[in-house]
Amino acid sequence: MTAADDHNDDVALAGEYALHLLDAEARRAFEDRLNNEPALRILVSEWDAHFISLSDEFTPVVPPAMMKARIEDVLFPKAAKARSEFSLWRVVLGAGFAAALGLAVLVALPPANVPDPFTPSFTAELAAEDQSLVVLASFAPDVGVLRIDRQAGEARQGRVLELWLIADGATAPVSLGVLPADAATNITLPADLIDAIAGGTLAISDEPIGGSTTGAPTGDVLAAGVVVSI
C-alpha cells in the first residue's frame, strides 16, 4: 500500500470516527493512534469542522421536555424503574398526607354556615278552589330564580302541569315551562322576564305531554296567584 493509500484510509477513518461509526474495538485502536499522530488529529478536526458547517442549514428544533427522560429510560432502565417507583410512592404518600390534612381540618373546624344565595323578594300562592292543587312560588330577582314548591296535587295521568306568567298590563301569558314531577324545582327566568314578574300573575294549566304547542294554555287553568313583594 502506498503512502497515498494510507492517507486516503486515514481520511476515511477520521470521518467515520467523527461520525461515531466505528465499532468499539476499531474506535479504541484509532484513539491509540490519535495520541501519537498529530496529523491524524488534524484530519479529525477538519472532519468535525466540516460536519458542523452542515448544521448551518438546519432549523433549530427544541426537543420535547420529556425527551431527556425517555433517553435515560432506554439507556438506564434500572434507574428509570427506581425513579418510577419513587415517584409512585411520592404520589401515594402525598395523597395520603393531603387526605389526612383535610380530615384534620374538618375535625378541628366547626361546620361553616354557608348562606343560601337564593334570597326571595317576591312570593305567590297558586291554589285551586278546592285545594286539590297548591303551589307556593318565591322569586329572587338578584339571581333571576323562581323557586316552585308544590305542596298538594299533581298532574293527571298522561298530562303535565305548565306554568305561565301574565305580566301586569300584559294581554297574553308567557310560558315558564312544564313543571317536573318533583314537588320542588327552581326555574331560571330569562333576563327580559325578571322585571315583568313583579305584580304579575302566575298560573298553572293542564296540558298534554310536552306542554302547550300554541303559545297559550290549551287546557284548564287549575290554579293562579298574584305575585306580591315580601
pLDDT at 136: 93
Put simply, whether the predicted model's pTM sits higher than 0.85 gets the answer no
pLDDT at 162: 92
Q: Which of 18-32, 46-60, 210-224 has the lowest mean pLDDT?
A: 46-60
Cell 438546519 identifies what position? 58
DSSP string, 11-76: HHHHHHHHTT-S-HHHHHHHHHHHTT-HHHHHHHHHHHHHHHHHGGGSPP-PPPTTHHHHHHHHH-
> Tens digit of pLDDT for each residue in 88-141?
445 444 555 455 545 444 444 555 555 557 788 889 898 888 898 998 989 888
> Tens digit of pLDDT for each residue in 155-201?
989 899 999 888 888 888 889 889 888 888 898 888 888 888 888 88
Percent of the chain at pLDDT above 90? 6
In the predicted structure, residue 55 carries a pLDDT above the cut 80? no
State whether residue 104 is helix, strand or coil: helix
Q: How high is the mean pLDDT of the chain?
A: 78
* pLDDT band at residue 35 using 50, 70 and 90 as cut-offs: confident
Sign of CA dihedral 18, 23, 29, 31: positive
Question: Could you tell me which residue, 67 or 143, shows the higher pLDDT?
Answer: 143
Cell 427522560 identifies what position? 69
